[in-house]
Structure formats: structure tokens, C-alpha cells
Amino acid sequence: MSRPFAFLGCRLLDPASGLDTTGGLLVRDGRIADLGPHLRADGLGPDIECIDADGLCLAPGLVDMRVRLGEPGSEHKERIDSAVAAAAAGGVTSLAALPDSRPPLDDPAMLEFVARRARKLKSVKVHPCACLTRGGEGRQLAEMGLLREAGAVAFTDGGRAVADARVMLRALAYATTFDLLVVQHPEEPALAAGGAMNEGAVATRLGLPGIPPCAEVILIERDLRLVEATGARYHLGCVSTAAAVEVVRAAKARGLPVSCGVTPHHLLLTEAEVEGYRTYAKVSPPLRTEEDREALIAGLADGTIEVVASDHTPQDQDSKRVPFAQAAFGVVGLETLLAAGLELWHDGRIGLLELLGAMTVRPAALLGIEGGRLALGAAADLLLFDPVARWTVTETGLRSLSKNTAFEGREFRGRAVRTLVDGRTVFAREDAAT
């Protein structure tokens, strides 16, 4: 094993315990051996390497619940190695890979293929999700029991909603047998069909087909009835409307086992980004109005929304440099997940621990994986970051194979300095002093 080491003089942040203090953290054999304000260089043995963190923040590594790896099937857009490199640069130490690849992750062999490829890289931990239905087509249930044994951490058809209520009811009922997490894409397909952006005045002015906000809440309200009937754990991958936040808030008040996530681009951007027919602002669900954005921030701040996830969807130039209506949905987001979230903290909209909790311990708990906390004996999956470092997003600066970021040219405050997985450094910023 590598030599034990300790970060000293850092701001320790652990959302799970509420820890926010200046101190140090000791790593031995890939695990957290000690942490707290009592750790000092003069109290450590000569065998321990001491690293001066110079006041930087040390937190659990980020856990991203929504990532498309590209591989298998779309290696020209992203590969597993490029995706984990981007994740490490963004401070992500664990990610859940969505199954809507081609071929889809709907059988144990495909899950093992992804897991094995990721393990060989010895970098960011990749946890595959499995298709909820065969082929992700929404008609027949996948072999959920076998897929869970193969390592699936959640079941979803990715960016496609399960439209058939009977199929969804069966999926939720079956999921209760193994306490599986079912993740839904909240968009009623018939209402969203052919749409390219949020339905409203901007879409009308641009002459683009719209996706009505009610397409989201209608599907959610239907599914909540099914959750009530089955008691299954149900997660909404990414909500985008004020109406959805209200419905989820009411469901939680009734005690339903419901959770939901939101993306940084929905928290920071609105449909106005589409002006000029910017295809890099074409996402699913679409960017909505300023009122919706404010409701999402409020929902995150009060705990209605538990998770912030990138919904990383790499698309190559050929998929985006086309007329808006024909362009593919999606943006890359692994490298901007932390920085975009920190904008809300800088603006005083959410506390730092609350924000980090939505990117660490809460997604880890939902997925049932280790990670997301600073605790004795826990895996040393760590993120050292500078919360005020200014940097500008550029396509050339991204490690993702595809460059379809919604934040091109935007200046952020806050950036990962060093990322560690099981005590091994998988990313270190070259221009950082530490």
C-alpha cells in the first residue's frame, strides 16, 4: 500500500454529520484513519506525508447519479476513459452510468462489460444502472432480479419515460420485492413528441415546436398514484417545472417514498438560452422559465429536491451543428457540476453543506453505495477544492470527448484542485499549489 498521508490546514466539510471546521484528515491504506481539528503535523509520525491544504475545502468526492458514458455504441461521443477523466477533473469520485446506450444495459453481461472496463482504469468508481424495461422500450420488464445481482444500483430507461401505466405499475410492484430504486424520466412522451424546447412565447417567436410544462407534471402525478399503491422507492431523475416541485413536495408530506433530482443547467439557465437557436441549450427536459428556475432553487434549498446531478450527455459536432429542431438533446456536465452548484452558494441561495449534501451523501444513500461522507473507516474518496477560484469554461479546456457544454464562455467561482479515490490521486490541477 502507498505511504500514509494527511491533509492539514483545510476546511473539513461533511454534509452527513454537519461537520464544518478547520483541521486535518489522515488517510491510511485507502481509508480515512482520522480527521478533525486536533490533527497537526507535530502530532503525526515521520512515516506520514503531510500535505498543507492552505485553507482549501476538503469534502467527500461528488457522487453523480446521471451520467452517459457513450460506451458501448457511441464511442465517437464519449468513451469510459474520457468520461472518468472528466469526472475526476470535476471532483466526481463515483458515478451512476445510465443504461440507454446502444446496445442498452438490459442484461447482466452488458453491466459487467461496463463495470469491468471501468475497473481497469483504476480511477473514478462507475456503478451501472440497468434498464427498467427490455431494450429501454417501455414494453416488457427487464430481468430486474438478475440485474441487481449483477451490480445494478438503480433501474431506469434513462432519457425515455415509461409511458405505459400497466408496465410501470408492474415495475414498481416488482421493485418492492428487492427494495430497488426506480428512476423515471418525467416527461409524458405523447405530449412531448416532436418538441424541441419549452412551450411558450420564446418558442413561438423562434418558430420552434414546444414541449408543454404539463407533460412533466402529468406523468409525475400518474406515477405517484402507482407509488402509493405499491410503496416502491421512486426517484425523478431531473425535474424542470414549478408544478413538479409542488407535486413532489405534497407527496413527501403524505409520506410517499419519493425523491427527485435537478441539473445545474436547470438551476442556472432558462429558455432564453435558446435565443439565436443555440443547440447547446437543447436539453431534455427543456430549459424552462425564470419562475420555474426560482422554484427549483427553492425546492433544493428546502429539501424537496434531494440531488443535483449533471445529466452528462455527450453529443458530437454532427449532432449539434444542425438546425435546432433536428439537433440532439443534451449537454456535458461532469466538469462543471461543482462550479455551477457553487454559484448558488456564492449568491446566498443555499448553504455550502446543503449543496454538497445534494452532490454527495444523498445520491450515495439513494443508490445504496459507499461514499459521500467523511467518517472514520470510510473510503478515502475525497475532493479538495478552492471555493473562490475563478475560471472560464472553454471547449478546449474540457476533458470530455464531446464539448457540448451549456456554459461555454461563462466564468465560474470554485474548482476542484485534487480528487482522490480510495486514497489514490486520480486528478490534480497542474496550476494549483497543493
- Cβ-Cβ contacts under 8 Å for 417 (sequence gap 6 or more): 56, 384, 385, 386, 389, 428, 429, 432, 434
Bridge-based pairing of strands 424-428 and 411-421 is antiparallel
Report the alpha-carbon distance of residue 128 to residue 183 in Å, rounded: 13
CB distance 417 to 7 below 8 Å? no
Compute the distance between CA of residue 431 and CA of residue 16 in angstroms, rounded to an integer: 31
Query: For residues 292-303, b (16+ Cβ closer than 10 Å) or e, as one string?
Result: bbebbbbbbeee
Query: What gap in Å lies between CA 356 and CA 337, rounded to an integer?
Result: 11
Q: Which contiguous run of DSSP H or E holds residue 158?
A: none
**Catalytic site includes residue 164:** no
- Which position has the grid cell 452488458? 110
Catalytic residue among 64, 223, 311, 381: 311
Quote the cell numbers at residue 107. 442484461
Residue 267 CA to residue 287 CA, distance in Å, equals 9
In 201-349 the beta strands, taken as DSSP E runs, fall at: 210-211, 233-236, 258-262, 307-308
Closest CA to 167 of 182, 152, 187: 182
Cell digits of residue 348: 446566498
Helix ranges restricted to H, 142-288: 144-149, 165-178, 189-192, 201-206, 214-230, 242-253, 264-268
Check: CB of residue 173 under 8 Å from CB of residue 232: yes
Q: In the beta sheet, which residues pair with residue 27?
A: 5, 32
Handedness of CA 199, 296, 416, 87 (dihedral sign): negative
| H-run or E-run covering 97 | strand 92-97
Which grid coordinates belong to 225?
Answer: 398514484
Name the residues annotated as catalytic: 311
